[in-house]
């Protein structure tokens, strides 16, 4: 056999054995198909096949997807984990799971069982699934470049210690979490050590703790999400370069409940958000160089509460409408700027009719300072005596920062 | 009693004082709406007016009316009429006409502005209801002061002092107490302290509707349980009613014993 012949022989051999099939097959999974369970389906499938899961109930758990597959549900077939543990674990790149109804994830006190867990994989695609009675919903662990879209997660969490999060990202980068609806879990969306994530159009309601919770997660973008009626609102901590725009934070009521809690957040942009009927709209602690532009604070207890160590933040063109307290400080030092906002409590005038009030507005009331010190005094809210004290403090500030004023308060609400 | 009530009522109508108050409230309502362009914000401003101005007007007017109609009262006393019905009739006449001015004066501009189509209707009716109750309470207290003081100057002095105390001084003392004893649990104390002042009580009732998000931010359990529930609302409403009945009862008791 000469050299050329040998080459073509190897080539043939390679073609017959080694080269993966380039066409993808479809394997139906149903009660009387060749593959009766999803487990069998996965075992039968070649790389890049599609498992077409017919409408039935599959009592399975600990399913490991270790090759690039597409799992496609017809009419939301039920995958019932019987509360025995984790249901899907994805350990391969290019896996897609779509149209399944995944229920009964087991609760564990030692490991975080999830309905779908993605481990060290990329290009995953989790779309249009329904999750019920779960511990953790979608758990992304050291994974990247994936999409989590249009899922409905409905939990029945009662206590924090034995409930999990809806969408949980841990050391995961470049993931898009969009248009999901999450209810009744511990934290709706949770991020830890996850950078460049895009969170968009999600609705997170009635969760036990936070609607959105992230820590040590930089360069993320949050747009057009809705956070309503969560136990403690939204908490964001220890992160840099965050952009939050067009989100709505509604009705987060309670003694330790915030529309948004910012702690150690630096260089962020918060614009075009709506904070309505929260006990505290934004609680700021140790956060620097944040720009707040064109947000609406409507009917909150405290619109903005500044707790300390907050420097070089700027508030421009925001609307402060009918809040019990627009702004509260716990010290009389101020390094933040307020300019060109609309304050519904502004009592000045505009003689030259240029749309800007002629006298500066002092948004911090003495009463808010007193309430910080002795919370019970809150019962004197809106009493004449308090108005008198506030007035005298406004005229000559003693307890509140004297350089804290909006020099250009707007006369009309900013559209 | 009804006859005297009717007489007092028409007397007030004729004396034009009712019209003055009606026009005052009307103007106030219009200006408020004109300046604010927003019903829910106007309701908040209105609250301040109701809990401050309404008691003041009721107090001053109550005392004034009692002293002015003294001769007529003496004439009535000469007739075979029950004493309590004479004074109660006068009291109800004054309080009734004041309440009517309030309801119509504030109700008209708001109704024209589209109150019935807006969500503020409940808050507004609560405000008007509380305004009416405060009128009755402070007119009653004023009658009590007037009947116990022959000297008009003294009577007026006490009446103004009563208003000042309830509207301002009480809250000042209250605040001082809270700050001095801030190390102690004060939930129950602050709840009880509000009950003893009808103005504070009305304020809390309105706050329960308007500023609930702020009030729920407070950590005290007693406070939150009370304010966060329907029970708190019912109890404060009941106490306010008690406040209305108390001066009336005391008035009729005083009227029986008084020597003219």
Q: Is the pLDDT of residue A12 over 60?
A: no
pLDDT given for residue B20 in this prediction? 86
If pLDDT is split at 50, 70 and 90, which confidence band does B230 have?
confident
SS3 (DSSP) at A137: strand
Looking at residues B196-223, what average pLDDT do you find? 74
The nearest CA of chain A is from the CA of B215 a distance in Å of 7
Q: Is the pLDDT of residue A20 over 50?
A: no
Residue in B184, B200, B208, B207 with CA at minimum distance from that of residue B239? B200
Q: How far apart are the first and last CA of chain B?
A: 20
Non-local CB neighbours of B203 within 8 Å, separated by 6+ positions: A381, A382, A383, B47, B51
Interface membership of B180 toward A (CB under 8 Å): no
DSSP letters, A332-355, are: S----EEES-EETT-----TT-SS
If pLDDT is split at 50, 70 and 90, which confidence band does B142 have?
very high
Of A231, A263, A286, the position where a domain reaches its end is A231
Structure tokens at B41: 């914000």
Residue A14 DSSP class? I
Q: Where do the structural domains in chain B lie, given as residue ranges?
A: 2-257
The nearest CA of chain A is from the CA of B146 a distance in Å of 26
Higher-confidence residue of B151 and B110: namely: B151
If pLDDT is split at 50, 70 and 90, which confidence band does A21 have?
very low
Cβ <8 Å between A279 and B214: yes
A133 inside domain? yes
Instruction: Enumerate the residues of chain A whose CB falls inside 8 A of the CB of residue B41.
Output: 321-322, 344
**Residue A22 to residue B228: CA distance in whole angstroms:** 65
**β-pair partners for A293:** A271, A316
| Chain A interface residues (partner B, CB cutoff 8 A) | 253-257, 277-280, 299-302, 321-322, 324-325, 344, 370, 373-388
Of B41, B51, B175, the CB nearest to A377: B175
B113-120: Cβ within 8 A, 24+ apart: B113/B33, B113/B39, B114/B39, B115/B39, B118/B39, B118/B40, B119/B40, B120/B39, B120/B40, B120/B43
Please tell me the total count of domains within chain A: 2
Q: Is the pLDDT of residue B99 over 60?
A: yes
pLDDT given for residue A342 in this prediction? 95
Structure tokens at A305: 């509460």
Higher-confidence residue of B83 and A105: namely: A105
pLDDT given for residue B144 in this prediction? 94
Cβ <8 Å between B47 and A382: yes
Of B48, B204, B219, the CB nearest to A379: B204
Q: Is the pLDDT of residue A61 over 70?
A: yes
Interface membership of B163 toward A (CB under 8 Å): no
Looking at residues B214-228, what average pLDDT do you find? 64
If pLDDT is split at 50, 70 and 90, which confidence band does B40 have?
low
Cβ <8 Å between A299 and B213: yes
Cβ <8 Å between A322 and B175: no
Non-local CB neighbours of A101 within 8 Å, separated by 6+ positions: A73, A76, A77, A78, A79, A129, A130, A132
Interface membership of B47 toward A (CB under 8 Å): yes
Q: Is the pLDDT of residue A211 over 50?
A: yes
**Residue B149 to residue B254: CA distance in whole angstroms:** 12
The nearest CA of chain B is from the CA of A367 a distance in Å of 11
Instruction: Enumerate the residues of chain A whose CB falls inside 8 A of the CB of residue B167.
Output: 384
A374 inside domain? yes
Q: Are residues A207 and A263 in the same domain?
A: no
SS3 (DSSP) at A331: coil
Q: What is the mean pLDDT of chain A?
A: 90
Higher-confidence residue of B3 and B27: namely: B27
Looking at residues A246-254, what average pLDDT do you find? 90
Q: For A281-331, how does the pLDDT look when each residue is reduced to its tens digit (9 = 90+)?
A: 999 999 999 999 999 999 888 999 998 889 999 999 999 998 889 999 887
The nearest CA of chain B is from the CA of A93 a distance in Å of 47
Q: State the best of A319, A383, A413 to mutate against chain B, taking most chain B CBs within 10 Å.
A: A383
Instruction: Enumerate the residues of chain A whose CB falls inside 8 A of the CB of residue B182.
Output: 373-374, 376
| Cα B45 to Cα A309, B29, B39, distances in angstroms | 35, 10, 10
CB atoms within 10 A of CB B6: 14
CB atoms within 10 A of CB A256: 13
pLDDT given for residue B223 in this prediction? 65
Interface membership of B49 toward A (CB under 8 Å): no
DSSP letters, A239-257, are: EES-EEES-EEE---STT-
pLDDT given for residue A269 in this prediction? 95
CB atoms within 10 A of CB A203: 17
Contact in structure between A87 and A116 (CB atoms under 8 Å): yes
**Residue B148 to residue B157: CA distance in whole angstroms:** 13
Instruction: Enumerate the residues of chain B whose CB falls inside 8 A of the CB of residue A321.
Output: 41
Contact in structure between A46 and A25 (CB atoms under 8 Å): yes
pLDDT given for residue A19 in this prediction? 46
Name the strand (E) or helix (H) holding A176: strand A173-178
Domain that holds residue A170: 23-231
pLDDT given for residue A22 in this prediction? 47
Angle, alpha carbons A73-A77-A78 (nearest 5°): 135
Of B40, B216, B223, the CB nearest to A253: B216
Q: For A331-343, how does the pLDDT look when each residue is reduced to its tens digit (9 = 90+)?
A: 778 889 999 999 9
If pLDDT is split at 50, 70 and 90, which confidence band does A3 have?
low
Burial class (CB in 10 A: 0-12, 13-18, 19+), A137: buried
Q: Is the pLDDT of residue A14 over 60?
A: no
Burial class (CB in 10 A: 0-12, 13-18, 19+), A317: middle
Higher-confidence residue of A324 and A24: namely: A324
Structure tokens at B192: 């009880």
Nearest CA in chain A to B36: A344
The region of weakest confidence among A100-104, A270-274, A411-415 is A411-415
Give chain A's largest Cα–Cα span: 108
Non-local CB neighbours of A354 within 8 Å, separated by 6+ positions: none
pLDDT given for residue B37 in this prediction? 65
Cβ <8 Å between A322 and B41: yes
Q: What is the mean pLDDT of chain B?
A: 84
pLDDT given for residue A18 in this prediction? 47
The nearest CA of chain B is from the CA of A183 a distance in Å of 22
pLDDT given for residue B217 in this prediction? 66
Non-local CB neighbours of A99 within 8 Å, separated by 6+ positions: A72, A73, A74, A76, A127, A128, A129
SS3 (DSSP) at B102: helix
The nearest CA of chain B is from the CA of A203 a distance in Å of 22
Cβ <8 Å between A378 and B214: yes
Q: Is the pLDDT of residue A38 over 90?
A: yes
Instruction: Enumerate the residues of chain A whose CB falls inside 8 A of the CB of residue B216.
Output: 253-255, 279, 301
- CATH code (residue A139): 2.160.20.10
The nearest CA of chain B is from the CA of A54 a distance in Å of 49
**Residue A167 to residue A140: CA distance in whole angstroms:** 8
pLDDT given for residue B215 in this prediction? 66
Looking at residues B173-179, what average pLDDT do you find? 92
Which range, A264-268, A390-394, B85-89, has the best average confidence (pLDDT)? Answer: A264-268
Cβ <8 Å between B217 and A280: yes
**Residue B5 to residue A254: CA distance in whole angstroms:** 49
Instruction: Enumerate the residues of chain A whose CB falls inside 8 A of the CB of residue B169.
Output: 385
Structure tokens at A12: 């043939």
A16 inside domain? no
pLDDT given for residue A129 in this prediction? 96
Looking at residues A218-226, what average pLDDT do you find? 95
Q: For A349-363, how does the pLDDT look when each residue is reduced to its tens digit (9 = 90+)?
A: 999 999 999 999 999
| Cα B60 to Cα A129, A234, A337, B6, distances in angstroms | 70, 52, 47, 21
CA–centroid distance for A56 within its chain: 33
**Residue A185 to residue A396: CA distance in whole angstroms:** 49
- What angle in degrees, to the nearest 10, is found between the helix axes of B17-36 and B39-68? 160
Residue in B186, B143, B248 with CA at minimum distance from that of residue B194? B186
Q: Are residues A198 and A265 in the same domain?
A: no
Looking at residues B237-260, what average pLDDT do you find? 88
Cβ <8 Å between B48 and A277: no
Q: How many CA atoms lie within 13 A of A199 on its CB side?
A: 33
Q: For B48-64, how does the pLDDT look when each residue is reduced to its tens digit (9 = 90+)?
A: 888 889 999 999 999 99
A6 inside domain? no
**Residue A56 to residue A262: CA distance in whole angstroms:** 46
**β-pair partners for B149:** none
**Residue A291 to residue A313: CA distance in whole angstroms:** 6
Higher-confidence residue of B227 and A357: namely: A357
A277 inside domain? yes
SS3 (DSSP) at A298: strand
The nearest CA of chain B is from the CA of A400 a distance in Å of 18
A15 inside domain? no
A198 inside domain? yes
Q: Is the pLDDT of residue B173 over 80?
A: yes
SS3 (DSSP) at A19: coil
**Residue A111 to residue B245: CA distance in whole angstroms:** 65
pLDDT given for residue A63 in this prediction? 94
Structure tokens at A311: 């420097």
Interface membership of B213 toward A (CB under 8 Å): yes
Burial class (CB in 10 A: 0-12, 13-18, 19+), A37: middle
Residue A16 DSSP class? I
If pLDDT is split at 50, 70 and 90, which confidence band does A6 have?
low
Q: Are residues A268 and A408 in the same domain?
A: yes
Q: How many CB pairs under 8 A join A and B?
A: 103
Q: Are residues A247 and A114 in the same domain?
A: no
């Amino acid at each position: 056999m000469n050299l050329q012949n040998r080459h073509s022989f190897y080539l043939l051999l390679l073609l017959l054995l080694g080269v993966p099939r380039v066409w993808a097959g479809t394997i139906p999974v149903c009660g009387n198909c060749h593959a009766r369970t999803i487990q069998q389906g996965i075992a039968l499938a070649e790389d890049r096949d599609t498992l077409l899961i017919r409408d039935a109930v599959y009592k399975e758990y600990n399913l490991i997807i270790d090759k690039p597959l597409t799992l496609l549900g017809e009419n939301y077939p039920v995958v019932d984990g019987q509360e025995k543990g984790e249901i899907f674990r994805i350990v391969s790149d290019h896996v897609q799971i779509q149209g399944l109804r995944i229920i009964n994830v087991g609760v564990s006190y030692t490991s975080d069982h999830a309905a779908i867990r993605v481990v060290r994989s990329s290009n995953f695609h989790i779309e249009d699934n329904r999750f019920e009675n779960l511990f953790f919903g979608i758990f992304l662990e050291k994974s990247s470049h994936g999409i989590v879209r249009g899922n409905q997660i409905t939990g029945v969490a009662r206590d924090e210690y034995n409930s999990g999060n809806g969408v949980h990202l841990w050391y995961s980068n470049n993931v898009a979490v969009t248009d999901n609806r999450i209810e009744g879990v511990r934290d709706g969306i949770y991020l830890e050590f996850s950078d460049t994530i895009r969170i968009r159009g999600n609705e997170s309601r009635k969760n036990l703790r936070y609607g959105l919770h992230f820590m040590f997660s930089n360069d993320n973008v949050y747009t057009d999400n809705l956070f309503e009626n969560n136990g403690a609102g939204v908490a964001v901590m220890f992160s840099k370069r965050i952009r939050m725009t067009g989100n709505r934070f509604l009705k987060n009521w309670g003694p330790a409940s915030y529309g948004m809690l910012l702690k150690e957040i630096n260089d962020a942009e918060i614009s075009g958000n709506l904070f309505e009927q929260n006990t505290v709209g934004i609680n700021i602690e140790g956060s620097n160089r944040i720009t707040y532009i064109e947000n609406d604070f409507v009917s909150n207890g405290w619109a903005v509460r500044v707790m300390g160590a907050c420097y070089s933040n700027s508030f421009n063109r925001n609307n402060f409408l009918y809040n019990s307290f627009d702004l509260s400080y716990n010290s009389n030092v101020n390094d933040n700027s307020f300019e060109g906002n609309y304050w519904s409590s502004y009592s000045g005038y505009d003689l030259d009719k240029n749309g800007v009030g002629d006298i500066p507005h002092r948004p911090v009331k003495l009463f808010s300072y007193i309430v910080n010190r002795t919370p019970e005094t809150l019962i004197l809210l809106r009493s004449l005596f308090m108005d008198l004290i506030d007035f005298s403090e406004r005229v000559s500030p003693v307890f509140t920062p004297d350089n804290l004023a909006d020099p250009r308060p707007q006369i009309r609400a900013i559209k | 009693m009804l006859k005297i009530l009717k007489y007092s009522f028409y007397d007030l109508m004729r004396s034009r004082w009712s019209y003055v108050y009606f026009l005052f409230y009307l103007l106030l309502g219009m200006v408020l709406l004109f300046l604010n362009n927003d019903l829910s914000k106007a309701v908040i401003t209105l609250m301040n007016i109701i809990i401050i101005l309404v008691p003041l007007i009721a107090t001053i007017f109550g005392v004034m009316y009692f002293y002015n109609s003294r001769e007529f009262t003496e004439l009535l006393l000469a007739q075979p009429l029950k004493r309590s019905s004479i004074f109660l009739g006068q009291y109800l006449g004054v309080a009734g006409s004041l309440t009517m001015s309030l309801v119509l004066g504030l109700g008209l501009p708001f109704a024209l502005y589209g109150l019935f189509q807006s969500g503020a209707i409940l808050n507004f009716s609560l405000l008007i209801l509380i305004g009416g109750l405060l009128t009755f309470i402070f007119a009653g207290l004023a009658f009590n002061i007037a009947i116990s003081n022959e000297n008009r100057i003294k009577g007026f002095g006490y009446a103004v002092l009563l208003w000042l105390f309830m509207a301002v001084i009480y809250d000042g003392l209250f605040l001082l107490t809270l700050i001095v004893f801030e190390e102690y649990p004060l939930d129950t104390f602050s709840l009880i302290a509000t009950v003893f002042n009808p103005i504070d009580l009305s304020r809390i009732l309105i706050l329960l509707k308007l500023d609930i998000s702020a009030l729920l931010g407070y950590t005290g359990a007693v406070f939150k349980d009370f304010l966060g529930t329907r029970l708190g609302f019912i109890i404060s409403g009941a106490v306010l009613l008690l406040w209305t009945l108390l001066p009336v009862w005391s008035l009729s008791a005083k009227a029986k014993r008084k020597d003219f």
